[in-house]
Amino acid sequence: MANSSSVVCSHEFVAPYQVDLTMVEKLSSITDVNGNILFKVKSKRLSLRDRRVLADHAGNPVLSFHRKFLSVHDRWIAFRGDSSDSKNKIFSVKQSSFIQFKTSLDVFMGYNGNEHVCDFKVIKGSWFGNSCTIYAGNGTTIIAKMSKKHIQ
């Protein structure tokens, strides 16, 4: 079970075991292995910042995120619920470097204000396979993996 310092949104989304999820692009939803919708991603139409809201199965906002305007490193910022107030900031994500041959993202939790060392690193392993690995810190311990599943 995760300790309270590692809970990002709410304890209701923490499981003491591995959970396999599926992203359904056409429906902008995330399901469990049985096809039950757990989350939906709602996009705001005509948004300069490409603002989106991740809602639970009942439609309640879990977190919102948007692209930072005029960001050199293509930064995204996530907030609790449907907020954009800095006091509700959960994390931010930015490209590790301006020029990249392999996608690498640095994730900084909201409490990491100085951003000298990232809390998580996301490395996209394959452009064509759409896979990525998420590491704790600067990339030593794997905490999650994602790969695109091709359904025939």
- Unique residue bearing structure tokens 């050199």: 72
Mean pLDDT, rounded, of the chain: 80
Region 127-147: what's the mean pLDDT? 77
CATH no. of 1-93: 2.40.160.200
Model confidence pLDDT, tens digit, residues 16-72: 888 888 877 777 888 888 888 889 988 866 666 688 899 998 999 999 998 887 666
138: pLDDT strictly greater than 90? no
**Per-residue model confidence (pLDDT) at position 7:** 63
User: Residue 61: what pLDDT?
Assistant: 93
Q: How far apart are CA 124 and CA 105, in angstroms?
A: 8
Domain boundaries, the chain: 1-93, 96-147
- pLDDT band per the 50, 70, 90 thresholds, residue 3: very low
Strand order in the sheet with 89-95: 21-24, 29-32, 37-43, 52-56, 61-67, 76-80, 89-95, 104-109, 120-126, 131-136, 141-146
